[in-house]
């Protein structure tokens, strides 16, 4: 799972058209990797999308 | 004119009229008064009331019920003077108090939250939601115009959950950091689905219209379906009549698409499926707008927003629908 996220991020960066953009997206990918990895894990377990302080509330159904 | 100053030129994504809101991500600046203009259009006066809505401050009488209108920039009235929008026209036609809670770039997720948290104050008997079908994609965009938006998501147990606006988003620097992450995540997910909205983006070939990208948007329409369910349930619980007004898409006013695989009707059909599944009444403006539109006398501005004529038609069709349903008596 983590390996595939890393691969996705590299493919994502390499798909950019200029060297500057590719470099930017590699940096962003590295910076955001922990958050993306956590989001993916949470989704896989059926939990919240994010473990930030504003936890998701069940909103449906209302009655 | 409010003063001798030149009107402020607004461009796409301009947030002059907006400020941070802890529930909605952003909402109108209260008590704003500003002369603004859009490219090549006459200036208009923007006046927000104490609630931050482009509306008057007049209160309801003790036993009075209202019509509340939600929507995006079409409802807010981009490029149109305040008295000439469909909401004011509808007020004249129905002799009812009509509240305008439209805001630029508002998504249906924010409309849902505003319905739940802001509408009760206006004691609505009828709620109208204006939506042009292309805009349904906003429920996937968690960061817009410099503001972090609250968003719904469906977890693997098929539960609809709400990710609220993070407290730190109150501060611009953190908003940018959080928003940059949300934007990156969205772009990555689109890339993984074979969708690219940045490089070589052509509005006439937006992926949301592409037949072969239909499956990539299934998750979005599933999410939309659940959000609409919340709206429908809230209205049923509170005895409110809910009506969607579906606007025409800008692309439909131009030449027909060169391929049958590029279908400008696609998001409309899918939105209608969701509305019908949730037994939400709707009225489709497309025919009325298209038949009334010409190059010499258009119903839209060059950027696709409905102009004064478009607002007149919008209100006439809405009014006709309300009369037909027996929801208003004049």
Neighbours of B283 (CB within 10 A): 18
pLDDT number for residue A49: 44
pLDDT at res. B149: 96
Q: What is the pLDDT of residue B6?
A: 83
Task: Tell me which residues of chain B, numbers 190 to 219, contact chain A at a CB-CB cutoff of 8 Å.
Answer: 191-192, 199
Q: How open is the CA angle B60-B284-B88, to the nearest 5 degrees? A: 30
Q: Is the pLDDT of residue B153 over 50?
A: yes
Give the best-scoring range by mean pLDDT among B99-108, B190-199, B295-304: B99-108
**Distance (Å) of CA B101 to CA B91, B98, B110, B230:** 14, 10, 11, 19
Q: With bands split at pLDDT 50, 70 and 90, how would you rate the model's confidence at B210?
A: confident
Give the pLDDT of residue B253: 86
Average pLDDT over residues B244-259: 85
Give the pLDDT confidence score for residue A62 in this predicted structure.
52
Contact B155 A49 (CB under 8 A): yes
φ and ψ at B71, to 5 degrees?
Answer: 165, -170
- Of the pLDDT bands very low, low, confident and very high (cuts 50, 70, 90), residue B139 is very high
Which pLDDT score is estimated for A50?
Answer: 40
Residue B120 has pLDDT above 90, yes or no: yes
The C-alpha atoms of residue B291 and residue B305 are separated, in whole angstroms, by 17
Contact A54 B159 (CB under 8 A): no
Q: What is the mean pLDDT of residues B109-124?
A: 96
Residue of B177, B181, B186 to mutate, testing the A interface (most A Cβ within 10 Å of its Cβ): B181
Query: Mean pLDDT over residues B265-274, rounded?
Result: 95
pLDDT of residue A57: 62
CA distance B184 to A25: 9
**Is the per-residue pLDDT at A63 higher than 90?**
no
Show the beta-strand stretches assigned E in B29-112. Answer: 33-37, 44-47, 66-71, 98-102
Whether residue A51 lies within 8 A of chain B, CB to CB, comes out as: no
pTM above 0.90, yes or no: yes
Tokens encoding B170: 């109150």
Residue B211 has pLDDT above 90, yes or no: no
pLDDT for A41 equals 82
Rounded to an integer, the average pLDDT of A47-53 is 40
Average pLDDT (B124-137) is 95
CB contact (8 A) between residue A53 and residue B233: no
pLDDT at position A51, please? 35
Q: What is the mean pLDDT of residues B11-31?
A: 92
| pLDDT of res. A55 | 45
| pLDDT score of A25 more than 60 | yes
State the average pLDDT for chain B: 92
Q: Is the pLDDT of residue B68 over 90?
A: yes
Q: Which residue of B has its CA nearest to A55?
A: B163
Tokens of B81: 């003077």
What is the distance between the alpha carbons of residues B311 and B74, in angstroms, rounded to a whole number? 8
Please give the pLDDT value at position B262.
Answer: 83
- Nearest beta carbon to residue B163 from set A28, A36, A54: A54
Bridge partners of B69?
A: B100, B128
In chain B, which among 96-155 make CB contacts under 8 A with chain A? 152-153, 155
- B3 versus B93: the higher-pLDDT residue is B93
Q: What integer is the mean pLDDT of B260-278?
A: 93
Q: Is B25 a residue whose pLDDT tops 80?
A: yes
Whether residue B22 lies within 8 A of chain A, CB to CB, comes out as no
């Amino acid at each position: 799972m983590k390996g595939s996220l890393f691969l996705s991020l590299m493919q994502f960066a390499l798909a950019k058209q200029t060297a500057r953009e590719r470099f930017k997206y590699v940096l962003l990918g590295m910076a955001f990797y922990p958050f993306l990895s956590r989001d993916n894990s949470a989704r896989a377990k059926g939990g919240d999308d994010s473990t930030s302080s504003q936890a998701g509330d069940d909103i449906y159904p209302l009655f | 004119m409010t003063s001798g100053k030149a009107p402020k030129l607004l461009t796409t994504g301009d947030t002059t009229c907006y400020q941070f809101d802890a529930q909605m991500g952003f909402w109108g600046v209260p008590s704003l008064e500003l002369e603004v203009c859009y490219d090549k259009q006459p200036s208009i006066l923007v006046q927000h009331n104490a609630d931050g809505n482009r509306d008057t401050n007049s209160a309801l009488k003790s036993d009075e019920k209202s019509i509340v209108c939600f929507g995006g920039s079409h409802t807010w009235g981009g490029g149109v003077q305040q008295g000439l929008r469909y909401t004011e026209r509808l007020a004249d036609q129905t002799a009812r108090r009509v509240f305008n809670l439209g805001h630029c770039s508002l998504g249906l997720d924010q409309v849902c939250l505003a319905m739940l948290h802001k509408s009760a104050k206006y004691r609505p008997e009828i709620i109208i939601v204006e939506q042009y079908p292309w805009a349904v994609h906003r429920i996937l965009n968690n960061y817009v115009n410099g503001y972090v938006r609250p968003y719904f998501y469906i977890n693997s147990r098929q539960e609809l959950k709400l990710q609220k606006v993070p407290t730190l988003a109150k501060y611009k620097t953190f908003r940018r950091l959080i928003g940059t992450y949300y934007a990156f995540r969205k772009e990555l997910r689109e890339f993984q689905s074979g969708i690219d909205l940045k490089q070589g983006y052509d509005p006439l070939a937006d992926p949301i219209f592409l037949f072969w990208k239909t499956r990539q948007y299934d998750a979005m329409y599933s999410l939309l379906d659940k959000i609409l369910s919340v709206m429908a349930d809230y209205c049923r619980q509170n005895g409110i009549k809910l009506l969607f007004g579906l606007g025409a898409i800008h692309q439909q006013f131009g030449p027909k698409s060169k391929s049958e695989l590029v279908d400008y009707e696609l998001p409309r059909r899918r939105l209608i499926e969701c509305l019908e599944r949730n037994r939400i009444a709707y009225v489709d403006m497309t025919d009325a707008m298209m038949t009334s539109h010409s190059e010499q006398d258009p119903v839209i501005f060059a950027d696709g927003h409905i102009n004064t004529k478009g607002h007149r038609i919008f209100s006439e069709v809405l009014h006709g629908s309300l009369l037909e349903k027996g929801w208003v008596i004049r």
